[in-house]
Chain A
Amino acid sequence: MKRGAVRKEKTAHRIVLERKMVTHHDVMTWNLDYCVGCQLGANVCPLDAITHVDGKLENGRMVVRQGVDIDPEKCVLCGMCAVMCPANAIEISVNGKPTNPVQEYETFPTLIESNEFNAEAFDWSRRDFVIDNCPTNVISYDEAAETLVVEDEHCIRCRQCEVASDGAFQVEQPWEGTVTLRRELCVAGCLACADICPTRALHINAAGELVLADYYCIKCGACMQICPIQAETEEYEVTFESQGHTHTRVHERITNAAVLPIWVERWRVKHTPVESSSWLDALMRIASDKAGQVEIDRKRALKRRDLLKALKGGHVLMDNE
C-alpha cells in the first residue's frame, strides 16, 4: 500500500480513517454509536465519499441502526462532515492535535451553539432527574464545584435539560427550521423514527402512539432517512454568488413532501462569518433554497431570527414523564 494513502478500519462501533505520511498524520474517527445516519455529512461531502447505510426495520421497529460508510479512496479528510454532524460523531486530528482543516482555513464556519447552566436558577431537587433525562448522558454533577457540568463537545443541543430544569439550562441550537409529523400518512404500526431520533423529539407515548415534541428537534433529519416512505428528489441547477464569482451547481430537492409522514426542513443556521463558496454550496444542499438566499442576504436573515424569537413562546411544550 502506498504511503500516504487513506487506510480505513471499520468495526461495529467506529470507522477510523488514517493517513500517515512521515511529516503529516491525520486521523478521522466516526463514532457509529453516535451516528444517526442523518445524511447531513453525505450531503455536504464535496467528493461524494460518504454513502448512507440503510438500517433494518422489523414490524415497524428499528432492529439494525442506520449509519454511514466512507470511501477511503475519495475522502481527503477535509472535515466538512465533522462541522455539520448534529450528533458530534466525527472527530479529526492532525499530527495528534484535534482540529478541523476547513475551519482552520476559514472555509467553513463554526456553528453558533451553546448550553449554559445557571446554578442559581436551578431547583436542585430535580438534579438526578435532569442528569438521567439527558438523551446523550453528557450532564454530570461536579462534586468539587458543586454544580452541573455539560460535556460540551458531545452535547447535541436537544433542549431536554432546558425543559427539565425549567430554564436553568439555556440551550442555543444552531439550526432553525420546521419539522412536521403527519401520522395519517405513516405506514400502519411503524415507529421506527422514534427509535432513531437522538433527542426523543419523536417518541412513543403511553398509548403506544408516535408523538412529536418539536421543541426538542435538532433538525438532523435522521427520521426522514429511516422512514419507509422515502423522499423523492429531482436535480436542479443552483446559481449563487461568492467571492466575486457566480457559481453553478447541481443540487437535489424533494418533490413529494406532501406525502411524507415526517418532514424536516432546515432554513437557517447560526454560524460565525465566513466567505467561502463551498460553505454556501453545502448549506444549499442541506437546507431549503430559502436558506441559501437568507445566507446571502444577511439583513433578511436577521429579520427572520427576530421573527423566530417572537414565535418561540408559541410552541406547546410536552410534559416530561
Chain B
Amino acid sequence: MPEDEKKKSTEHQFEEEEPRIGVYACHCGSNIASVLPPAEVAKYAESLPGVVVANDHHYMCSEPGQRMIQEDIKKHNLNRVVVSACTVAMHEPTFRSCISDVGLNPFMFEMANIREHDSWVHSHEKEAALLKAKELTAAAVAKVSYARPLDMFKVPVTKRALIIGGGIAGISAALDLADMKIETYLVEKTPSIGGRMAQLDKTFPTMDCSICIEAPKMVDVGKNPYIHLLTYAEVRKVDGYIGNFKVEVEQKPRYVDADSCTGCGLCVDVCPITVPNEFEDGMGPRKAIYVPMAQSVPVTHTIDMNACIKCYKCVEACGDLSAIDFAQEPEIIELDVGAIIVATGYDTWDPTPLEEYGFGEYENMLTMMEIERLHCAGGPTIGEFIRPSDGKIPASLALIQCVGSRDKRYHEYCSGFCCMYTIKNALLLKWLYPEMDITIFYIDLRTPGKTYEEFYERAREAGIHFIKGRPAEVLEDPVTKNLIVHAENVTLGTHVALEVEMVGLATAAIPSAGAADLGRVLTVANDGYGWFLESHPKLKPLDTPTEGIYLAGSAQGPKDIPQCVSQGSGAAGRASRVLMADEWEIDPIVAYIWPDRCLNAKGGKCTICYDVCPYGAVINKPGSGEPSQIIPAKCHGCGTCVAECPANAITQHHFTDGQVIAQIHSLLADNPEGKVLAFTCRWCSGMGADNAGTAHFEYPANTRIIMVMCAGRVDPDFVMEAFRLGAGAVLVSGCHPQDCHYISGRQYAGDRMERVAKQLTRLGISPERFRVESVSATEGAKWARIMQEMSGTLAELTIAKIKEENAQAHPKLARRLNRLKQVPGVAPVLRLSEEMRLQGIAGGGA
C-alpha cells in the first residue's frame, strides 16, 4: 500500500485549476417541473461563483440529457458538474460514468436532490420549494468547488477462498468454487462436515433420504483436489481486507493422525467410555473415541479429551497403524485468502425454559430433531420409533409448532421451516405406523414453496389431525408417562385436553453457538437475534457490509435445504467475482491522516482513531513518535475517526471538512434563523428522507439536508458552525444504532452529540433546537414528522427569540470555532464565503 499512501499524501497538496462548473437542472417530466421551474434554478445557478454554464432538460438521465452534459464539458472545458435532479441512490452512478466517459474524473461531480427532498414533499409551497431548489443547488456547487479527483484503489487479489461451516450451504459453495478451479479452505468446527442436513431422516416435500443425497457431496468435498478440508477447527482471527485476508484457524487436537487413520473403528470397540453423541442430540451413545456418524467425512476418528480416561486401549487396538497420538496439541494454521463465505448455520433452541411444556422433565417430551433421529434408519434405534419411557411404539403423538419462535418471550421471529418439517415427520410416521394417531397443534401453517402446499394437503388426506391453537400446558400422567396437551381449539372455540403417548416440539432455530464471537472476529455485524446481517435485505442478501465477506445458508436466518444450496452457490458466485479478478477496485472515499498534525507524531499517546474504527483500519503506535496511519483498503469511509480526532488531523476524501463547511455556509447564507439544517447519513436516514419523498409525505420547505456517509462523520464543529451562522435548528440523523452500516458509527455519533447538546444548552441554545434521531430507510413518515416538529419549534420559539439566543452564544462559538481555520482546506472556504456575503451573492439570491 505505500504507493497509494504516497499518492494520497501528495493529493491534498495539489492546487487545482479554477473551478469551471456546469449545472444541470432536471424537470423529471413533471415530477419536478410541476412544482418548481427548473429553468429558473439553472438561471440562478449561472450567477454562482465558478459556474460557467447552466442548463435544464426534461430528463437529465436520458440519453439526450447526458449528451448535453458531455458536449458542454467539451465545449466549455468544464472540470466539475452538478446535476439537480433526484436522489444519489438512483442516478449518481449514471452521471459519474457519464462524465468519466468524456475524461472527467467521476468524483468531480455532485447531485442536488430537488425531487425526493423538494418537489415531492413541498408541492403546496411552490415559492419556498423553488428557493430550496436554488439553495440545494448552490450547496452542491459549493461542495463540488472543493472536489478533487480521486482514483479507485486497486488491490491485488489472493485467489483462494475460505468457507466457514461445512453444512450443505458451505458444501455447495465449496464445490462450486472448486469447479471454478479456485482453491478453497472449508473450515468446520465439528469432526465431520454434513451439518444439520446429515441429521435429518427425509427431506420435504420429495421425501428423499437426506444423508443419501448429501453423502455423495460430502465425499466429493473430501476428495476434491481444490478443497482443503479443515474439520474440528475454528477460525480465531481474521485480518486484512477484500482480496487480502489473513486468517488464523485453530486446528483442535483430535489425538488421531489423519494420515494414518483408516477409519476402521477397532479403537471404538475397545473404548470403555460411553457418552451421549451430540450428533444424535443425546438420543444415543458414542465412545470417547468416535466419528459422529457412519458417513463422516473425513473418517478420521477423534478422541474427546473431556471423557477420555487415557487407558490406551485404543492405542493397543490401533496396533501397527499407530494413528493415535496423545501428544497432539492445538495448532494454528495461517491462511491467505481473497474472500470469505460464512455458512455457520443454525442450532435448535433448547426448550427447557418453557416450563409449561415440561421438556427435560417428561421423558416422552421430545424436540423435533430428537423425533427426527428417532425415526431415522441411521439413528440410535435404527429407525424404530419408540417412547423413551418404556421403549414401546406410541399409539398417539402430538406435534406442537412454534415452540420458542413467534414467542415474544423468547424469539419473535418465525423459524420458517418448522411447519414443513413437522408435516414431514407426521407424514413419515403415518406411513411407517398407519395406526398411529397424529395431531399437529399450530398457530398458522406456512407453506410457501414449490409443491409445499400440496405436501400439506397430502398430510391432511393421510389422516393427520390439525388443531389451530397453541397449547397452554402439557401435563404428565406419572403412572403411564402419557402426556395431556391442553389447548384452545381456536377454530371451534373449545378447550382441548388431548392425551397422547408422546409429544414433539418444533423448537425455534437459533444462530449457531459462537456466531456472535465469529461476528467479532470477522467484524461482520449480527442482527438483534444474532443472525449475520446482510448488506441489503433485497439487493445484497449474500453480501455483508464488509466487502469480500459473504453469507450463505442459515447463518443469515433460518432456511430450508434448497435455499441453503442456492445461497451456497450464490455466495460462491459473489466470491468468484473477486477471486477471478487479478485486482479489485476499492472506493476511494476513505479517511486520511495528515502525518504532521497527528498527536502521536509529536510523541503523544492518542488511540482515539484506532479505538473508534470498527474495521481495524488504523495503524496506531502511541508513544512511538510515529503518526497513525490508515490502511485505505481496510477503511470503509464512515468518517467516524475524522470527527473524533481531537487534533483535526484526519480528513475524509470527498467529504472533507472544507466541503461540508462550504455546504453549511451556502445553505445558511440567507435567513438562517428560519431554517432547519439536517445532517443525515447516506444509508438509513438519507434513504428515509428519500422514502418520505417517494411516499409524498409533505413537510415544511424551510428544511435543508447535508448528506455524509455516516452520522459518525458529523463533527461537533459542524453543528457549532451552523449555530454560529445563526441556524434555527439542527438535526443529526443516522441509522438505528444496531443497523448502522458502519457497525458503530451511529453509536459514536450519539455519544458525541450528547456532549454537544450539553455544551449548546450551556451556551443558552434552547435544547429543542438541536436533535439527534434515528430514521430507518423505511421510516419516511417518521422523517416527515421530525421535520414538521423541528419546523414547528422555530415557529413556537419565534425568530426573535432565536436571534436573541444566537447573539448570546455567538461570541463563545466564534472563539471556539477559530480553530476551524487551522484545519487544512477550511480557511479558503471561510474566506470565499465571507467575500460572497460582502458581495451579496448569498444562498438563494432573494
Which A residues lie at the B interface, using CB under 8 A?
Answer: 1-5, 19-24, 26, 46-47, 74, 76-80, 94, 101-102, 104-107, 242-245, 247, 275-279, 281
Instruction: Select A101's contact among B272, B281, B310, B350, beta carbons within 8 Å.
Output: B272
B side interface size, CB within 8 A: 35
- Min CB distance A18 to B, Å, is 12
Contact of A24 among B273, B284, B350, B363 (CB under 8 A): B284
Contact partner of A26 (CB less than 8 A), chosen from B274, B309, B374, is: B274
A3 touches which of B309, B316, B370, B381 (Cβ 8 Å)? B370
Contact of B311 with A4 in the complex, beta carbons under 8 Å: no
B313 A276 Cβ-Cβ under 8 A: yes
With A1-B352, A2-B350, A47-B306 given, is the CB distance from A102 to B311 under 8 Å? yes
Q: Find chain A residues with CB under 8 A from B386 CB.
A: 22
> Is B315 positioned at the interface, with any CB of A under 8 Å from its CB?
yes
| Residue B562 at the chain A interface, CB threshold 8 Å | no
- A2 CA to B272 CA, complexed, in Å: 23
A74 to chain B, nearest CB (A): 8
A276-B312 in contact (CB<8A): yes
Pick from A2, A20, A281: contact of B363, CB below 8 A: A20
Find the residue from B277, B313, B360 having the highest chain A CB count within 10 A. Answer: B313
Q: CB distance A3 to B275 under 8 Å?
A: no
Verify if B270 is at the interface (C-beta below 8 Å from A).
yes
Q: Once the chains bind, are A23 and B312 in contact (CB under 8 Å)?
A: no
The listed residue (A1, A102, A277) touching B360 by CB distance below 8 A is: A1
Contact A102 B309 (CB under 8 A): yes
* Residues on A with beta carbons closer than 8 Å to the beta carbon of B242: none
A281 cross-chain contacts in B, Cβ below 8 A:
310
User: In the bound complex, do residue B272 and residue A23 qualify as a contact, i.e. CB atoms below 8 Å apart?
Assistant: no
Q: How far is the CA of A75 from the CA of B280 in the complex (A)?
A: 20
- Is the C-beta of B845 less than 8 angstroms from some C-beta in chain A? no
Q: Please, which residues of chain B bring their CB within 8 A of the CB of A47?
A: 306-307, 309
**Are A76 and B270 in contact, CB atoms less than 8 angstroms apart?**
no
Contact flag A275-B316 (CB < 8 Å), given A2-B350, A22-B388, A101-B273? yes
Answer yes or no: B282 CB below 8 A from chain A CBs. yes
Contact A76 B275 (CB under 8 A): yes
Interface residues of B in 271-313 (CB under 8 A from A): 271-277, 280-285, 288, 306-313
Within 8 Å CB of B310, what residues of A?
A: 46, 247, 277-278, 281
Q: List the B side residues contacting A5 at CB < 8 Å.
A: 276, 282
Contacts of A107 in B (CB 8 A): 272, 309, 311, 313
Cα–Cα distance between A21 and B363 once the two chains are bound (Å): 10
A72 to B510, CA, bound (A): 27
**Considering the chains assembled together, what is the distance between the CA atoms of A3 and B271 in angstroms?**
22
Q: Which 4 A-B pairs have the closest CB atoms?
A: A4-B276, A4-B282, A105-B272, A3-B282
- Which residues of the other chain, B, contact A275 by a CB distance below 8 angstroms? 316
Q: Quick check: is B19 within 8 A (CB to CB) of the other chain?
A: no
B374 touches A278 (CB 8 A): no
Other 9 A-B pairs with CB < 8 A, given A46-B310, A242-B312, A279-B311: A2-B350, A3-B282, A4-B285, A20-B388, A76-B275, A102-B272, A245-B312, A276-B313, A278-B310
Residues of B within 8 A of A76 (CB): 273-275, 288, 307, 309
Asked if B380 lies at the interface with its beta carbon under 8 angstroms from chain A, I say yes
A94: chain B residues within 8 A (beta carbon):
274
Complex alpha-carbon distance, A15 and B809, angstroms = 76
Pick the contact of A78 from B273, B283, B284, B312 — CB < 8 Å?
A: B273
Q: How far is the CB of B653 from chain A (nearest CB, A)?
A: 53
CB atoms of A78 and B272 under 8 A apart: yes
Report chain B residues within 8 Å CB of A21.
276, 280, 282-285, 380
Q: Are B316 and A243 in contact (CB under 8 A)?
A: yes
| B315 partner residues in chain A, CB cutoff 8 A | 243-245
List residues of chain A with CB within 8 A of the CB of B381.
22-23
Interface string of B311-330 (1 = CB under 8 A from A): 11101100000000000000
Name the residue among A3, A21, A22, A47 with the largest chain B CB count within 10 angstroms: A22
Q: How far is the CA of A20 from the CA of B388 in the complex (A)?
A: 9
The interface residues of chain A lying within 8 Å CB-to-CB of B380 are 21-23
Q: Could you tell me the distance between the alpha carbons of A277 and B386 in the complex, rounded to whole angstroms?
A: 40
Q: Quick one: closest A residue to B374, CB to CB?
A: A22
CA–CA, A105 to B350, complex, Å?
Answer: 34
Chain B residues near A24 (CB, 8 Å)? Answer: 274, 276, 284-285
Tell me, rounded to whole Å, the shortest Cβ–Cβ distance linking B367 to chain A.
9
Contacts of B281 in A (CB 8 A): 2-3
Q: Is B311 in contact with A278, judged by CB distance below 8 angstroms? A: yes
Residues of B near A102 (CB, < 8 A) are: 272, 309, 311
Complexed CA–CA distance, A74 and B309 (Å): 12
Q: Provide the residues of chain A in CB contact with B276, threshold 8 Å.
A: 2-5, 19, 21, 24
Alpha-carbon distance between A293 and B274 when the two chains are bound, in angstroms: 31
Query: Is there contact, CB below 8 Å, between B311 and A277?
Result: yes
Considering the chains assembled together, what is the distance between the CA atoms of A51 and B275 in angstroms? 21
How many Å lie between the Cα of A276 and that of B308 in the bound state?
13
Q: How far is the CB of A111 from chain B (nearest CB, A)?
A: 17
Which residue of the partner chain, among B277, B283, B309, contacts A278 with CB atoms under 8 Å? B309
Question: Can you list, as one digit per residue, whether each of B362-398 has a CB less than 8 Å from chain A (1) or not (0)?
Answer: 0100000010001000001100001010000000000
Give 27 pairs: A residue, B residue, CB < 8 Å, sorted on A: A1-B360, A2-B281, A3-B281, A3-B370, A4-B277, A4-B283, A5-B276, A20-B363, A21-B280, A22-B386, A24-B276, A24-B284, A24-B285, A46-B310, A76-B273, A76-B274, A76-B288, A80-B309, A105-B313, A106-B313, A107-B313, A243-B316, A276-B312, A276-B313, A277-B310, A277-B311, A278-B311
Residue of A nearest to B324 (CB): A245
Q: Which of B272, B274, B275, B288 has the most CB of A within 10 A?
A: B272
Partner of B270, one of A3, A23, A105: A105
Chain A residues within 8 Å of B360, by CB: 1
CB-CB nearest in chain A for B382: A23
Taken together as a complex, chains A and B put the C-alpha atoms of A245 and B272 apart, in Å, by 19
How long is the Cα–Cα vector from A277 to B315 in the complex, in angstroms?
A: 11
* Nearest Cβ on chain B to A216's Cβ, whole angstroms: 33
CB-defined contacts of B285 to chain A, threshold 8 Å: 4, 21, 23-24
A279 to B309 Cα, complex, angstroms: 10
Contacts of B284 in A (CB 8 A): 21-24
Q: How far is B616's CA from A280's CA once the two chains are assembled, in angstroms?
A: 53
Q: Is the CB of A276 within 8 A of B274?
A: no
CA A106 – CA B380 in complex, angstroms?
A: 25
Which chain B residue has the least Cβ–Cβ distance from A243?
A: B312
Residues in B neighbouring A80, C-beta threshold 8 A: 309
Chain A residues with CB below 8 A from B388, complex form: 20, 22
Query: Once the chains are docked, how many angstroms separate the CA of A245 from the CA of B316?
Result: 10
Please give me the residue from chain B that is nearest to A2 by CB atom: B282
Q: How far in angstroms is the closest Cβ of chain A from B152?
A: 52
**Shortest beta-carbon distance, B704 to chain A, in Å?**
59
Shortest distance from the beta carbon of A287 to any chain B beta carbon, whole Å: 18
* A77 nearest CB neighbor, chain B only: B274
Question: Which one of A19, A26, A104, A242 contacts B272 once the chains associate, using CB atoms below 8 Å?
Answer: A104
Smallest beta-carbon distance B149→chain A, Å = 62
Q: Which residue of B lies closest to A277 (CB)?
A: B312
A216 to B87, CA, bound (A): 97
- A310 CB to closest chain B CB (Å) equals 35
Q: Report the bound CA distance from A278 to B309 in whole Å.
A: 7
Interface string of B558-602 (1 = CB under 8 A from A): 000000000000000000000000000000000000000000000
Contact string, B666-677, partner A, CB cutoff 8 A, digits 1/0? 000000000000
**A80–B307 alpha-carbon span in the complex (Å):** 13
B306: A residues at CB distance < 8 A: 47, 74
Docked CA distance A101–B307 (Å):
13
- Chain A residue nearest to B314 in the complex (CB): A243
Of A3, A243, A245, the residue contacting B283 (CB under 8 A) is A3
A279 to B271, CA, bound (A): 14
When chains A and B are docked, how far (Å) is the Cα of A94 from the Cα of B273?
12
Cα distance, A104 to B311, chains bound together (Å)? 13
A94 to B280, CA, bound (A): 19
Give the residue among B275, B280, B309, B381 with the most A Cβ atoms within 10 A.
Answer: B309
Min CB–CB distance A99 → chain B (angstroms): 11
